[in-house]
Amino acid sequence: MFPTIPVAAAQELTEVAISLPITGGDAASGSLICTNDQSYVLCDQEYSNSIYGVVNSTPSLSIVNDDAGSKLVVKSGIVEVRVTAKNGNILTGDLITSSTTAGVGQKATHNGYVLGAALADFSPDDPNAEGQIGVSLNIRATNEVTDDAGTDLLSTLKQGLTSAFLTPLAALRYISAALIVLVAFALSFIYFARIAKAGVEAIGRNPLSSRTIQAGVVLHILLSIVIIAAGLGIAYLILTL
């Protein structure tokens, strides 16, 4: 039987930890935990959409079991989190996400799944150095990172792979931009293939006009590049406006 907690006291608690079996590594206090095939593991992917919570050895309230390898994990409240600055120095208020370092968080510089907001700065001399800062947990997908689309169009389009986890409007923007880029590339290659084939046939029929025909092919290559550039430009505007 678990102890009965008065309602007033329960409302004051900022975190409740559940004892969970963690596999695949030493889950020190502050480690980010993800779900994986119905098991709990250290997060080791950037912007993982399976972030579950954070290991906390000193929660306000805990529900403990005796399973081997179990750790206390919280999903809400304020908790100390392991972080590095390899994705940029962390300032108070920055969103924190998972990283490729198992169990360690980093600053979120793109839209996607995040753990919560930093409550302190973290600016070490060595960006790969690990430390711990307080984080207000709010695990969710976000499109609040303002420098996302403007910094890297290709990485922004990559976020379309996880657009189903974002808001409907954000998902529509990513999908529309990706489709426009794909259509632009497809049209340019189809157009170029037809022109190249026609040019080769024309040279075969009239070798004396080869220079004129080659100049025409070069012109159409430039038009193909313009089509691709126009598609990228439209996609960029969709993502940034």
Tell me, what's the pLDDT at 134? 95
CATH 2.40.300.10 region(s) of the chain? 7-142
Q: What is the mean pLDDT of residues 82-111?
A: 94
Identify any residues that bridge with 132 across adjacent strands, giving them in sequence order.
Answer: 82
Closest CA to 228 of 191, 175, 199: 191
**7-142, superfamily in CATH?**
Head decoration protein D (2.40.300.10)
Helix (H, G, I), strand (E, B) or coil at 119: coil
Q: Please tell me the predicted confidence (pLDDT) of residue 133.
A: 96
> How far is residue 197's CA from residue 199's CA, in Å, rounded to a whole number?
5
Phi first, then psi, for residue 145 (nearest 5°) are: -80, 110
Q: What is the pLDDT of residue 89?
A: 95
CATH of 169-240, one of 2.60.40, 1.20.20, 2.40.160, 1.10.287: 1.20.20
Greater model confidence, 127 or 196? 127
pLDDT in tens, 154-181: 555 555 555 444 556 666 777 787 888 8
Q: Where in the chain is the domain with CATH 1.20.20?
A: 169-240
Q: 183 or 156: which carries more pLDDT confidence?
A: 183
For 1-59, write each residue's pLDDT tens digit.
333 333 333 333 456 788 888 887 788 999 999 998 778 999 999 988 889 999 998 87
Helix, strand, coil percentages for the chain (3-state, nearest 5): 40, 30, 35
What pLDDT, in 10s, does the model give residues 57-87? 887 777 766 666 788 999 989 999 999 999 9
Confidence (pTM): 0.60
The dihedrals phi and psi of 75, each to the nearest 5 degrees, come to -115, -5
Measured distance CA(222)–CA(76) in Å, rounded: 55
How far, in Å, CA of 153 to CA of 232, rounded? 9
Categorize the per-residue pLDDT at 202 as very low, low, confident or very high, splitting at 50, 70 and 90.
low
Counting every residue, how long is the chain?
241
Q: How confident is the model at residue 106 (pLDDT cuts 50, 70, 90)?
A: very high
- Among 190, 193, 170, which Cα is nearest to 182's? 190
Tell me, what's the pLDDT at 74?
93
**Residue 49 per-residue DSSP state:** T
